[in-house]
Structure 1
Amino acid sequence: MTSQRNEELVLRTSQDGVTTLRLNRPHRRNALDAATVDLLRAGFAEAAQRGDAAVVLTGGEEFFSSGGDVASMAGADAGVFAPAARLAKIHDLINSMVGADQLVIAAVERYAIGASWGIVLACDLVVAAEDAYFLAPFAARGMTADAGTGFHLPRRLGHQRAAAHLYLGERLGAAGALEAGLITETSPSGQATARALELAARLANGPKQSNAITKSLLNHDRAGLAQFLRGERAAMALAGHGPDAREGQTAFLERREPHFS
């Protein structure tokens, strides 16, 4: 198994009022383990301390993220609160993104799956490659929806369309996401990050303080998100140690279809 120093899991750069956070676990398809989420949170804190105008969140030119790192997750027998403890880190990250004065721009190549889709939904602007897709495979893994996907999708897609993604795991392509208002624009494949950086440069040269105020007004539609996430952790604690979660995680690691009883 490839080893990697923690500081290399997220590549952080800052220039001209723009911070870029690049996920850098290509051997795990940028899966989100605890160390990676901690580094993302630190990157947002540094951007806030510098007073940057924008943060670009990217996985590079190949893919955004395959979601939570199943191999690093606590097993079903690790205790009631073990799954919730992992999720608390992602919730801290999402709350910091939503509450930051910096505008957060996601650049999505190829896919954003599971928890990483939840993180994208918390961004202020999203550029997705034309061939990218979004997927919430929680049910197939015997888990409840996490990272705020259960909050954002029903409010923005409606109950029935959200249900197709959360219960049935249907994919949502970039064109459909654009039509539904879940992303800002599409770009040619391989150019999402470059386009996101262009938008970030415009923001850095714009009215930073009034944009921050506008963000706080726009985020009134996220009122109740923090409370929802607390409930989500309780749901994860309940579902995460049951037989469905055990079978879902085992099937994923064994690369087979799950067989729920």
Structure 2
Amino acid sequence: MAEDLVGYHFEDGLARIVMCRGDRGNVINQAWNESMLTALARARQDRARVIVLSATGRFFCVGGDVDVMVGAPSLPDVLDHIADSLHRVVSELQRSDAIVVCSVQGAAAGAGFPLVAAADLVVAARSASFTLGYTKVGLSVDGGTSLLVHSIGLHRALRLALLNRRISADEAAALGLVTTVVADEDLGRETDALAHELLSGPAEAQAATKALLRGAAEPAVETALRREALALRSQGAHADAREGTTAFIGKRRPRFAGSVQA
């Protein structure tokens, strides 16, 4: 596992998985996916009861590595490759017997947003914010975004996905995506308190409860993720995707085919 991408530490039933590229906003690319999958495999081998997923730096995760997308000879191929392994990460988080606690500071954007939503419980610093942003760069949603419908309802999910508004930690809590909002300086302490509260409970009952509730809400996780991957690959072949990602890197407004510029 590339320790400069994802760190792992296990002790007394608690697995800590830390995204360590805060200098790059903890962007998601193939190397990140492989490192995260390795960390999750170690948590499974260690029979972790609780997984705490956190990040270094100013942002939790700014989403997919747009630099890689812009530089790719075939955008559909690179999107398909990254999406496939990212979906394995999301599926592993949701299918794991361990209770997953996400600790969020700063922005959770793009695929970083559904990564947070894949956790079972979320502690967010008051400065945290959440935005999807896929259609903003000419791409369809990915990373388990479609599963948000089960959490917050169809029309709220549509609003987030189509308008790409940035919502605050308090707004995310009101939607049910965040469990607890805390002062920025208390994020680590409050996350640890929640993790240890879970560790003091009945492991088998907690794992069974997670499986039952996840199964009731999201009975076909992998099917939903595969539909996202197919749609993303298809959209990646469209000129709007190349224009959107290039405009994002160039920090300019994209000009999508057929769009009406205000």
TM-score by length of 1: 0.93
- 2:12 counterpart letter in structure 1: D
Give, in whole Å, the separation in 1 of the partners of 2:57 and 2:15. Answer: 17
CA deviations over 1:80-121 (Å, ceiling 9, x no partner): 443112100110001111111111000010111110111111
Give, in whole Å, the separation in 1 of the partners of 2:76 and 2:28. Answer: 21
RMSD of aligned Cα (Å)? 1.7
Are positions 1:259 and 2:255 aligned together? yes
Residue number in structure 1 paired with 2:147? 151
Superposed displacement of residue 165, structure 1: 1.1
Contact (CA 8 Å) 1:9, 1:24: kept in 2 or not? yes
Are positions 1:131 and 2:100 aligned together? no
1:1-261 correspondence runs (5 A): 6-60=2-56, 62-73=58-69, 77-78=73-74, 80-152=76-148, 154-220=149-215, 221-261=217-257
Q: Structure 1 residues 114 and 166, CA, compared in 2 at 3 Å: closer, same or farther?
A: same
Superposed displacement of residue 150, structure 1: 2.0
CA deviations over 1:48-103 (Å, ceiling 9, x no partner): 11111111001136321101111123657516443112100110001111111111
Contact (CA 8 Å) 1:61, 1:191: kept in 2 or not? no
Give, in whole Å, the separation in 2 of the partners of 1:229 and 1:238. Answer: 14
CA deviations over 1:171-207 (Å, ceiling 9, x no partner): 1211111111111111111432332222112222221
- 1:237 counterpart letter in structure 2: R
Percent identity between the aligned chains?
Answer: 31
Give, in whole Å, the separation in 1 of the partners of 2:75 and 2:20. Answer: 30
Give, in whole Å, the separation in 2 of the partners of 1:199 and 1:72. Answer: 36
Contact (CA 8 Å) 1:53, 1:208: kept in 2 or not? yes
Contact (CA 8 Å) 2:50, 2:98: kept in 1 or not? yes
Give, in whole Å, the separation in 1 of the partners of 2:28 and 2:198. Answer: 28
- 1:174 counterpart letter in structure 2: A
Q: Structure 1 residues 79 and 72, CA, compared in 2 at 3 Å: closer, same or farther?
A: closer
Q: Structure 1 residues 36 and 190, CA, compared in 2 at 3 Å: closer, same or farther?
A: farther
Q: Structure 1 residues 225 and 74, CA, compared in 2 at 3 Å: closer, same or farther?
A: farther
Superposed displacement of residue 211, structure 1: 0.6
Give, in whole Å, the separation in 2 of the partners of 1:209 and 1:200. Answer: 16
TM-score by length of 2: 0.92
Unaligned 5+ runs, structure 2: 258-262
Q: Kindly report structure 1 stretches of 4+ aligned residues shifted beyond 6 Å.
A: none
Give, in whole Å, the separation in 1 of the partners of 2:192 and 2:36. Answer: 18
Q: Structure 1 residues 100 and 219, CA, compared in 2 at 3 Å: closer, same or farther?
A: same
- 2:44 counterpart letter in structure 1: A
Superposed displacement of residue 124, structure 1: 0.5
- 1:223 counterpart letter in structure 2: P
Give, in whole Å, the separation in 2 of the partners of 1:180 and 1:139. Answer: 21
